[in-house]
Amino acid sequence: MGAIVSFLILFLGYFLPSIIAFRRELPNARKIFLINLILGWTVYGWFVALILASSGKKQWMVTLSSILAIIALLAMIAIPGLLSSRRFQNN
């Protein structure tokens, strides 16, 4: 019984961005679902799908460039020292 409940919680958590997109009746809900399904395991893909699903705009144009921009921003935040001032000093 505990395994079933754990599986359901993980399943719903994994597909939370897709659930939000379909509940909000977003025009790009299928694209968000595909991003969530294919890239959700990378965590970055999950956050991209969540950001797109939670966006205040119902007419968000999901393009490859917007997805890559969000992934790049998340990578810069997640990798320590990537944005540090030491990197840009040439002493």
**pTM for the model:** 0.62
Q: What would the mean pLDDT of 51-66 be, rounded to a whole number?
A: 69
Q: 26-45, pLDDT tens digit by residue?
A: 888 898 999 999 988 888 88
Residue bearing the bigger pLDDT, 42 or 91:
42
Model pLDDT, residue 18: 94
Residue 26 φ then ψ, to 5°: -70, 140
Quick one: what percent of the chain has pLDDT higher than 90?
A: 15
d(CA 41, CA 44): 8
Model pLDDT, residue 15: 94
d(CA 86, CA 37): 38
Model pLDDT, residue 58: 57
The band of 63, judged by pLDDT with boundaries at 50, 70 and 90, is: low
From the number of C-beta atoms within 10 Å of its C-beta (0-12, 13-18, 19+), residue 76 rates as: exposed
